[in-house]
């Protein structure tokens, strides 16, 4: 009797199956649907597996799989493997990196360049994110974000060429300076370290803006007002209240910008000069070589991936604190 009552209560508390009209109702009411898709839709575990399966497959096929394949190639002595020859594994591809400064110096240059770009992007974008999140009225914030996001709807190459048109000898900046009488001849700004840094910061600013805006917007205004009532100066309020509470946004934004800047490829080719050779260009040269240097290129790529992730992990651990996990 008790079991029957509990069963009835569960049946009463369970959601009633949905009823549809028209051709949808005929399909969902058919025996074929009830024994196939309908049974999966009624199962909580099946719905969870279906929802989680698509992202997992996406990660495995497009991210984890290529990385594992790259790691495997990096230990081979020849790729693609020759017919009727066994694949031999070696560490010579990694030893090649440390054998000559022609590989080490661009690698160090890329890490330093990515760090400088990350810090510069943080310094430039933080005031913008704070202004949008705290100074503007709530009704104006979405409009301001939309205006800031419009340039990023264009592709990377289009935005890179816009930087070229801005900084060229006959670009907008030189034309403006010449028209107002500041200069009488163009300032060489293109194909320099300045143009490369400016272009990469412009390309990656969005990765810093959105995490910072999200973190700063969540800071309670009452805390800032309370600090002001206690006599804290604007700088003290920023250092003791706003900056610590926006730490998660800083960590996320810096991590995204740094990881992207380390592997940036198109911008250095179009904006950098002959002295702006960075490590991704060397990796691309190995992959595009006619001598089948894929194992060397794969080894160099795995070294860059390992060092980049380790650097970001240490940064998250030190700046983010114990609340941030490396994996």
Tell the burial category of 94 from Cβ atoms under 10 Å away from its Cβ (0-12, 13-18, 19+).
middle
pLDDT score of 256 more than 90: yes
Fold of the 100-320 domain: MetI-like fold (1.10.3720)
φ, ψ dihedrals at 76, nearest 5°: -90, 160
pLDDT higher at 101 or 167: 167
pLDDT score of 11 more than 90: no
Contacts of 79 (CB under 8 A, 6+ apart): 73, 292, 294, 295, 298
User: What is the reported pLDDT for 17?
Assistant: 53
Separation CA 125–CA 123 (nearest Å): 6
Separation CA 221–CA 128 (nearest Å): 18
pLDDT score of 34 more than 80: no
At 112, is the pLDDT very low, low, confident or very high (cuts 50, 70, 90)?
very high
Radius of gyration of the chain (CA): 28
User: What is the reported pLDDT for 8?
Assistant: 47
Q: Identify which of 312, 109, 117, 119 has the alpha carbon closest to the alpha carbon of residue 202.
A: 117
Where along the chain do its domains lie? Answer: 27-63, 100-320
Enter the DSSP assignment of 89.
B
Contacts of 310 (CB under 8 A, 6+ apart): none
At 52, is the pLDDT very low, low, confident or very high (cuts 50, 70, 90)?
confident
Q: Identify which of 297, 191, 308 has the alpha carbon closest to the alpha carbon of residue 254.
A: 308
User: What is the reported pLDDT for 55?
Assistant: 86
pLDDT higher at 185 or 274: 185
Quote the distance between the C-alpha of residue 185 and its chain's center: 39
User: What is the reported pLDDT for 10?
Assistant: 44
pLDDT score of 87 more than 70: yes
pTM of the model: 0.81
Summary mean pLDDT of the chain: 85
φ, ψ dihedrals at 36, nearest 5°: -120, -90
pLDDT score of 324 more than 70: no
φ, ψ dihedrals at 154, nearest 5°: -80, 160
């Amino acid at each position: 009797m008790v079991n029957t009552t509990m069963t009835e209560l569960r049946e009463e508390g369970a959601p009633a199956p949905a009823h549809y009209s028209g051709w949808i109702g005929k399909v969902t009411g058919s025996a074929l649907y009830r024994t196939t898709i309908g049974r999966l839709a009624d199962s909580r575990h099946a719905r969870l597996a279906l929802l989680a399966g698509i992202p997992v497959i996406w990660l495995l096929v497009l991210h984890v799989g290529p990385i594992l394949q790259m790691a495997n190639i990096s230990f081979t002595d020849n790729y693609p493997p020759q017919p009727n020859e066994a694949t031999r594994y070696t560490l010579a591809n990694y030893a090649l990196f440390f054998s000559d400064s022609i590989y080490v110096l661009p690698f160090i240059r890329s890490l330093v360049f990515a760090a400088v770009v990350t810090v510069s992007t943080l310094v430039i974008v933080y005031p913008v994110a704070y202004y949008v999140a705290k100074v503007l009225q709530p009704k104006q914030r979405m409009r301001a974000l939309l205006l800031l996001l419009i340039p990023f709807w264009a592709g990377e190459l289009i935005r890179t060429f816009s930087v070229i048109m801005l900084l060229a000898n006959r670009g907008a900046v030189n034309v403006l300076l010449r028209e107002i009488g500041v200069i009488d001849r163009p300032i060489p700004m293109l194909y320099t370290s300045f143009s490369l840094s400016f272009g990469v910061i412009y390309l990656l600013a969005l990765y810093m803006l959105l995490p910072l805006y999200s973190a700063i917007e969540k800071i309670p205004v009452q805390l800032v007002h309370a600090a002001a009532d206690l006599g804290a100066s604007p700088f003290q309020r920023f250092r003791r209240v706003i900056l610590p509470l926006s730490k998660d946004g800083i960590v996320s934004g810096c991590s995204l910008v740094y990881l992207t800047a380390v592997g940036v490829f198109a911008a250095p080719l179009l904006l950098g000069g002959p002295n702006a050779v960075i490590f991704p260009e060397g990796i691309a040269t190995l992959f595009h070589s006619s001598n089948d240097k894929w194992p060397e290129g794969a080894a160099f790529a795995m070294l860059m991936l390992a060092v980049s992730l380790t650097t970001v992990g240490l940064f998250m651990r030190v700046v983010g604190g114990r609340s941030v996990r490396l994996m």
